[in-house]
Amino acid sequence: MAEFELIQDYFSGLSQPDSQVVLGVGDDCALLQPPAGKRLAMTMDTLIAGRHFLSDEHPSGIGYKSLAVNLSDLAAMGAQPAWALLSISFPQIDHSWLEAFVSGFVTLMREQGVQLVGGDTCQGALSITWQLTGFIEPGQEMRRSAARPGDAIYVTGTLGDAALALEMKRAGQDPGELEQRLTRPVPRVEEGRRLGAAGVRSCIDISDGLVADLGHICKQSGCAARVHLNRLPVSPWVRQYLQEGGDFRPVVAGGDDYELCFTASPDSVAHLQDMPVTRIGEILPGEGVELLDGSGNALPLPPAWEHFAS
């Protein structure tokens, strides 16, 4: 089968011409019309088989997660997702793999209003690159560099679920419902947009663990963060794991949760009561992230939880 037919069959029907997508898949370039007055937020991530996922992982899971992690970056900026480019290489044409791969991301893509407007397809080692573009109202973006002493620190959702699920799988246990948190993270797109519109100026998505990612905010903002371990939001599964004496490191240093961590004056988030956000600490003058236990003693900072480093 020629590359042309492959693109036609799998990737060409995933955009609708509209006032913004003047021309989608099929020509030398896509032609796009950004809405007047909006800024474009752009992000790209590559996932390589054997490095970011296992080659024998289910292709629909690879399709889902590869798109979800890119959407999470747009969410962390406060952008509204709009357009995607997909570059994919695979060693040989495998129709059932490709079908499952596309079915893995297509629902998420539609839910988030993303149009696949182009890409590249070639033969080689299995690897997937998404480039996403979103729209943002000038001034509503949330930068890593905008945290200020006096801000409170918040996270969405719960922490440690993905890391615990991975840990259980590696130990040969069935993570049950928790597995979804690892394989099908839900990017916090709506939350990100609402936070940006509410005046939150500093945010990051938690892909490498709270301590590491909050550390990026501190470094780029030139300030310090103090986090209270007993305020960290956890799911019933993680709560039980901790009560049974489990290590707290997956909660503070486990990756793959794709929740948002943001800093703001408490006033600016006071009216967002219907959002799943928890206040976990405060931004201070200085540098680095400090973690305190329930008695106010500093806990040793885990390095990126090494189980999850590879």
The residue ranges that bind ligand ADP (CB under 6 A) are: 3, 7, 11, 25-28, 86, 88, 116, 118-121
The span of 42-50, 51-59, 120-128, 239-247 binding Mg ion (CB under 5 A) equals 120-128
The option from ligand ADP, Mg ion, none interacting with 26 (CB < 5 to 8 A, set by class) reads: ligand ADP
Query: Should residue 3 be labelled a site residue for Mg ion when binding is judged by CB under 5 A?
Result: no
Residues in contact with Mg ion, shown as a per-residue x/- string from 225 to 254 under the rule CB under 5 A: ------------------------------
- The residue written with tokens 């790209």 in the block is 44
Q: How many Å apart are CA 260 and CA 204, to the nearest integer?
A: 6
Shortest distance in whole angstroms from residue 185 CB to ligand ADP: 22
Shortest distance in whole angstroms from residue 120 CB to ligand ADP: 5
Shortest distance in whole angstroms from residue 89 CB to ligand ADP: 9
Shortest distance in whole angstroms from residue 65 CB to Mg ion: 24
Among residues 3, 120, 177, 306, which is the contact residue for Mg ion, using CB under 5 A?
A: 120
Nearer to ligand ADP, 25 or 212 (CB): 25
Site for Mg ion in 209-228 (CB under 5 A): none
Strand partners, 226: 282, 290
Q: Say if CB 114 and CB 83 are below 8 A apart.
A: yes
Q: Which residue is nearest to Mg ion (CB)?
A: 120
Shortest distance in whole angstroms from residue 21 CB to Mg ion: 18
Nearer to ligand ADP, 93 or 309 (CB): 93
Nearer to ligand ADP, 119 or 233 (CB): 119
Q: How many Å apart are CA 240 and CA 217, to the nearest integer?
A: 30
Nearer to ligand ADP, 121 or 127 (CB): 121
The option from ligand ADP, Mg ion, none interacting with 86 (CB < 5 to 8 A, set by class) reads: ligand ADP
Which residue ranges make up the site for Mg ion (CB under 5 A)?
120
